[in-house]
């Protein structure tokens, strides 16, 4: 394993790197010469910080973040679910269970929405990201539709969309959102390859603040607006 103080020319950080699509993104980047650092709930190594998403907070991340090398790419791929549909139907669950879900909702909002801003601020404070760095949020096109389920998930995705745009307005780094489309193990590799191809485009900085979604028919990414 590469040590945390690696001097590799290309370094990436993936938050939510330990399984499924996040793991595939890690492998894809490593195959392109990146040293990949990560944060995960089910993996631990010299380059991966293991955390409990249900309990984590600022002190759990700071030492790891401040020991990272300079990063060319940061991807926020974490997802912390919290609410069930039962939460919205009054008197359908014992009030203690409602309280438990409320607490989970509070923590998931920190993990999904606040944590990325904390990470970016800490990386900037320690000069780990320069103006050429690319910072990516995994989003969902459903957040712009009339979906009536998974309100916490879609609401937090939309919050991240607006957070991404706000960072893009006020900073020279490249901030983008990505919707990889419907995913399963059969297409992890091809979608990850297309996504990294997009992120490695030399003119991506001209599209800072934009949201890209994957087209499963044409196997490419296209830009999405609030009006779609």
Class of domain 11-224: alpha beta
pLDDT single digits (tens) 155-194: 999 999 999 999 999 999 999 999 999 888 889 999 999 9
Where in the chain are the domains?
11-224
pTM of the model: 0.93
Please give the Cα distance from 51 to 32 (Å, whole number): 27
pLDDT single digits (tens) 17-32: 998 999 999 999 999 9
> What percentage of the chain has pLDDT greater than the value 70?
95
Which among 150, 172, 135 has a CA at the least distance from the CA of 84? 150
pLDDT single digits (tens) 90-135: 999 999 999 999 999 999 999 999 999 999 999 999 999 999 999 9
The predicted structure's pLDDT at residue 222: 94
Burial (Cβ within 10 Å: 0-12, 13-18, ≥19) of residue 195:
buried
The predicted structure's pLDDT at residue 30: 97
Please give the Cα distance from 228 to 207 (Å, whole number): 18
């Amino acid at each position: 394993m590469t040590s945390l103080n690696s001097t590799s020319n290309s370094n990436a950080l993936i938050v939510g790197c330990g399984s499924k699509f996040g793991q595939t993104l890690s492998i894809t980047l490593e195959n392109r010469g990146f040293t990949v650092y990560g944060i995960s709930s089910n993996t631990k190594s010299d380059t991966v910080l293991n955390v409990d998403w249900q309990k984590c907070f600022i002190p759990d991340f700071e030492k790891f973040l401040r020991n990272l090398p300079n990063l060319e790419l940061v991807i926020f791929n974490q997802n912390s679910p919290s609410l069930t549909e039962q939460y919205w139907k009054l008197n359908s669950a014992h009030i203690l269970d409602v309280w438990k879900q409320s607490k989970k909702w509070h923590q998931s909002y920190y993990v999904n929405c606040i944590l990325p801003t904390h990470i970016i601020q800490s990386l900037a404070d320690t000069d780990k990201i320069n103006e050429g760095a690319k910072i990516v949020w995994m989003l969902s096109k459903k957040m712009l539709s009339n979906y009536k389920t998974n309100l916490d998930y879609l609401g937090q995705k939309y919050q991240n969309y607006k957070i991404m745009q706000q960072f893009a307005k006020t900073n020279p780094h490249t901030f983008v959102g990505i919707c990889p489309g419907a995913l399963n193990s059969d297409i992890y590799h091809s979608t990850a390859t297309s996504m990294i191809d997009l992120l490695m485009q030399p003119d991506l900085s001209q599209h800072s603040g934009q949201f890209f979604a994957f087209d499963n028919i044409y196997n490419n990414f296209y830009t999405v607006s609030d009006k779609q």
